[in-house]
Structure 1
Amino acid sequence: CKDCGASSSWASQPLSGRTAAGNILLSASILFAKIFRVLRHLGVQCPNNRIYRRHQKDVLLPAINKAWSFQQAAMFGDIRASGSDLVLGEDGREDKPRHSAKYGSYSLMEKEGLQRSIARLEAEDTKVDLIVTDRHMKDQKEFLMLRFQMHLLHPNGEELFSFIGVSKKLDAIGKLKTCQEINLWTNSVVDHLYWSVSSTQDSNGHLTLAKWLSVLNHVMNEHEGHGNLFPRCLHESITGIETRKTWIKP
């Protein structure tokens, strides 16, 4: 100002330390939203790769780790407060299906990762009650049974059991010349498996197994006499077009 001599400066964006906040936010957008290619096609000037990597190392990744650690600590606190035991699920995810994936992540699917995860959960004063697995558990089975055999049983003492790759096994059998009728039943058998587990209360493993094995009689059009725990099918009497199903002959 010519009258009082006061002066001020204007900046297009605030600073974070000595770095323009907009540059950090743009680096965050590239990392979180994958917009670098869009901006490049629009002709928008962006930080070069060196600056982007520096922002990612110094600001963005530490921010992610801090946010995750805070959220994880809150989750452990909620679990301890509830007094509930943990049910662990192992699985993996990839950016593309089957064996063409370039990026992926997984949890509890190999022995070392499982051991470290269990150790961390124990350090946080939590208890594992059940581990749910799809497959890939051959190497881990001995470790689990030696160290957590009581945790692999429900409180009622009934043994847990698992079904591995039912659909794939049925598909393989259905390719045999004398077993092609099985292909007509694959979806129904898999649905019955899920029903056997989800419809059983109190985690009664013996009853679940009895329900599951009843499908062997059902596909042969036999709907009674399955056993003491589950003596007959629960569906209505088969009439009309349902009788035309391709039943499997023993």
Structure 2
Amino acid sequence: MDHSDLSWIPDEEMSSESSDEENSEEPIQESLNDPNVADKFIVCLSQLMCLFTICSVCCGETQGQIEYQEGTYIKIKQACTACGYQRYWQNQNMLHRNMPACNLQLSGAIHFSGCMATQTIRMLKLFGLQCISASTFFRHQRFYTIPTIVQAWQNEQRGIIRELKEIGGGLILSGDCRSDSPGHCAKYGTYSFIEDRINKVLDLQLVQSSEVPSSTWCKIEGLKRSVQFLKDQVMQVSALITDRNRQVAKWVREELCPEGTSHFYDIWHIGQSLQKALVTVAKEKDCEDLKLWRPAIIDHLYWTASSTPNGDPDKMEAKWQSMLNHVQDIHEHSYPSFPQCAHPPLEGEGRNKQWLEPGSTAAIKLESVASRKALLKDIRQLSPQHQTFSLEAFHSLILHFAPKHTGFSFLGMNSR
């Protein structure tokens, strides 16, 4: 498909206020040899048949007849009884094996745009437009559009690998898995790698739940396959940023860390779990003051990592623990790597929240949440420079092409 053709975009999206009269004055650019760039119009059958009422030789009256029709293709025979002249007219070119070009184009447009075939075809039939059937679309998908997508992705992937090898250095990867349905009954899991330096998708691995013990294992299996693919390409992973997952952390620690890979956790995922815990605690008796402190505590989590560019785990833990003193109006700490708060004296608008009383219920509950061993261990692995927000945005984009309320075959899911 030629994506340089923008004729389908409405005028208001292409330019500022332009009238239809101005557009109609421009000649229509059409290529008879390439149906991809040819403009197409919706024509009513009655108006089309009016073109075959006069013989082009003797100017006598004739009547066109539909000789053959297949999807968007129509072939009309015009015969003149007066002079014996006859001709055949078709509305589009034919491809190999007598396949109408626009039928294949329609299948490609549906697939490449991420539309659902059955819904699109139903809409076209309700409009009265002659179109392909669902079975024709799936046949085109199997033999033409899926191989086209796979080939385009492989070419793109090879170009990205060449680009990264020219840049040199170890890869800095953001990795995460996307399930094709909510809950723990997913049929597919797609593990994706984005290289943070160039912000491009480096690899995708689609894992079917029947290949692993359960759907929760799709993540670790997809990670293994992606890492093996990178090893086959002779590429070294310098840093890997993921969400907190016990299986992933164990495998990376055993397989990748000995090879020199640094494993970091994405701050957003840690912040989400921390925020849920703070919301729960703030609902308890005598802990209402934590509602005001919750946004600042989450911001402090981000600052803890971003203000430590070398990723020193001891310093990050000390900065995080200093928050427990800060909320009680104590700004000097017993940590050698972070002896006092980094902010200037808080006066006026800088001090817009009530300090927690030392020994109060709110302070004790906050300490029980913020000093959990699991959380402190995660904070020591926070990623100071690179995060997975680009990967989350990419997964959101996939929802348009592969929504979670629709089931697909393995090849269909892989292409989408």
TM-score range for the pair, normalised by the shorter chain length:
0.7 to 0.9
1:12 is the counterpart of 2:12? no
Over residues 180-217 of structure 1, what are the superposed CA-to-partner deviations in whole Å (9 max), with x where a residue is unaligned? 33232222111111122223223333333332222222
How far did residue 100 of structure 1 move? 11
What is residue 291 of structure 2 aligned with on the other side? 183
Of 44-53 and 228-237, more deviation after overlay is shown by 228-237
* Equivalent-residue separation in structure 2 for 1:203 and 1:100 (angstroms): 34
What is residue 21 of structure 1 aligned with on the other side? 101
What is residue 111 of structure 1 aligned with on the other side? 220
Q: Secondary structure at the match of 1:90?
A: strand
Of 215-224 and 62-71, more deviation after overlay is shown by 215-224
What is residue 157 of structure 2 aligned with on the other side? 72
Task: Name the larger-Rg structure.
Answer: 2
Of 78-87 and 19-28, more deviation after overlay is shown by 78-87
What is residue 204 of structure 1 aligned with on the other side? 312
Could you say what the CA RMSD is over the residues aligned between the two structures, in angstroms? 3.3
In structure 2, what residue type is equivalent to 1:125? V
Distance change (3 Å), C-alpha of 1:180 and 1:222: same
The TM-score, its normalising length taken from structure 2, stands at 0.50
Distance change (3 Å), C-alpha of 1:10 and 1:112: same
* Equivalent-residue separation in structure 2 for 1:69 and 1:106 (angstroms): 17
1:148 is the counterpart of 2:256? yes
- Please say if residues 145 and 152 of structure 1, whose CA atoms lie closer than 8 Å, have aligned partners that are also in contact: no
Residue segments in structure 2 that go unaligned for 5+ positions in a row: 1-55, 58-85, 193-217, 359-416
* Equivalent-residue separation in structure 1 for 2:256 and 2:180 (angstroms): 33
- Please say if residues 27 and 52 of structure 1, whose CA atoms lie closer than 8 Å, have aligned partners that are also in contact: yes
The TM-score, its normalising length taken from structure 1, stands at 0.79
Residue segments in structure 1 that go unaligned for 5+ positions in a row: none
How far did residue 120 of structure 1 move? 0.9
1:52 is the counterpart of 2:137? yes
Over residues 41-66 of structure 1, what are the superposed CA-to-partner deviations in whole Å (9 max), with x where a residue is unaligned? 43222200110110010101111111
Tell me which of 127, 131, 139 is aligned to 2:236: 127
How far did residue 92 of structure 1 move? 4.3
* Equivalent-residue separation in structure 1 for 2:121 and 2:227 (angstroms): 39
When you count strand as a share of all residues, which structure comes out higher? Answer: 2
> Larger relative contact order (C-alpha < 8 A, sep ≥ 6)?
2
- Please say if residues 240 and 261 of structure 2, whose CA atoms lie closer than 8 Å, have aligned partners that are also in contact: no
Distance change (3 Å), C-alpha of 1:132 and 1:184: same
Tell me which of 349, 353, 366 is aligned to 1:245: 353
* Equivalent-residue separation in structure 1 for 2:140 and 2:224 (angstroms): 34
* Equivalent-residue separation in structure 1 for 2:183 and 2:219 (angstroms): 18
* Equivalent-residue separation in structure 2 for 1:103 and 1:32 (angstroms): 23
Distance change (3 Å), C-alpha of 1:241 and 1:82: closer
